[in-house]
Amino acid sequence: MDYTEELCPVCNREFEPDDDIVVCPDCGTPHHRECYMIEKTCANAAKHGTGFKWNRKEYIPGPEDAVFTVCPVCRFPNDSSEESCVRCGARIHTGRTAVLSNENVQPQQNDQGQDPAFGDELAFLGLNPNEDMGGSTLGEVSTFVVTSKFYYIPIFKRMKDRGKKISFNFSCLVFPSLYFANRRMWFWAVFVGLMGLVLSMPSMALNFAANFSDFSEMESYVNAVNRHKHFIQELESVFSIADWALRIFYCLFGNWFYFRYVKHSIKKLRAKSADGKADPAALTEAGGVRPANMLIIIGIMFGAGLIAVYAMAMLLTRL
């Protein structure tokens, strides 16, 4: 075991990496060998028989140990190398907050999922966990979001304070249905998926006709597509524009939809509680992300796609 920087109970000097150290077999107290030989006994011998066991000293951090600096204006935890707050731009003069590094200190969480070693500044980005977020507290919102809460908390607060609904969500631009499914927003996941499926039908018809033109079983369908090919191509162009317009809409308003979903979900959990407060464990269980939902929505859209292709084939052959 490494006893570096621990104190010898006899000479009260810190142990160095090359020191010859002996440890009491009864209580585990370390001594310099020469100190132990002088005393001929453990410095804590009087405590033997009482169940005493030596423990490492509690680490008390100093300013030199600070790994981030708390802004004195908005309480945002900036990197210690920053001279100005990255959130509000205020000059950082004071407010260093150190992180405990004692290897015996194990992370603990309070009832709002906060790690006390980091304090409110890091757990809630310097914001008040009891602040009302429109029927729920900021602490409840943070506990419900779980993953990427440092991204969502500032966005949700701006939406609440300023009534702002627009923000940028790249996932909603590229994979909107998968994003909503992963965040357990099933209404939006299915709605977005079906809208995307409808808008992709002209493209699917053209691709299907091109790839299956050599199959006699598909001859009537291929001929129907070719008869209306010009119209389908024009429709494809219009639907492609509409699809991108919707993707941009999801991208700009996806976070707002998620904020509403979070507040509504917390409200339901509060209603189920006897004391009107949402249980942190229930918040975590109901919130966060669920990657398996993305596989489910892919399966749903695949099945819906097969039905759409069949329905489209029947429609075109009758035109």
Residues 76-122 pLDDT 10s: 676 667 777 766 666 765 433 433 333 333 333 444 444 443 444 45
pLDDT tens digit string along 199-258?
A: 998 888 888 778 777 777 677 777 888 888 888 889 999 999 999 999 999 999 999 999
pLDDT band, very low/low/confident/very high, at 148 (cuts 50, 70, 90): confident
Provide CATH 3.30.40 ranges for the chain. 1-57
CB 84 within 8 A of CB 90: yes
**60-106, which class in CATH?**
mainly beta
What was the pLDDT predicted at 95?
39
Q: Which two tokens stand for residue 250?
A: 């999801």
What's the rounded Cα separation, in Å, for the pair 214 and 185? 42
Which stretch of DSSP H or E encloses residue 119? helix 119-123
The DSSP letter of residue 197 is H
CB 258 within 8 A of CB 266: no
What was the pLDDT predicted at 252?
96
pLDDT tens digit string along 19-67?
A: 888 898 888 899 888 888 888 888 888 888 888 888 876 544 444 445 5
- Report the 10 Å Cβ neighbour count for 197: 19
Question: Of residues 144 and 66, which shows the higher confidence score?
Answer: 144
The answer on pLDDT for 280 being more than 80 is yes
Instruction: Evaluate the CA torsion angle 66, 69, 75, 78 in order and state its sign.
Output: negative
Average pLDDT taken over every residue of the chain: 80
Which stretch of DSSP H or E encloses residue 202? helix 201-211
pLDDT band, very low/low/confident/very high, at 291 (cuts 50, 70, 90): very high
Q: Alpha carbon 22 to chain centroid distance?
A: 47
What was the pLDDT predicted at 67?
54
Question: Of residues 39 and 184, which shows the higher confidence score?
Answer: 184
Which stretch of DSSP H or E encloses residue 97? strand 96-98
What was the pLDDT predicted at 286?
92
What's the rounded Cα separation, in Å, for the pair 33 and 13? 13
Question: Of residues 125 and 286, which shows the higher confidence score?
Answer: 286
Provide CATH 2.20.28 ranges for the chain. 60-106
CATH for 1-57 is 3.30.40
Q: Which residues pair with 91 in a beta bridge?
A: 84
Q: Average of pLDDT values for 169-180? A: 94
What was the pLDDT predicted at 105?
35
What was the pLDDT predicted at 96?
39
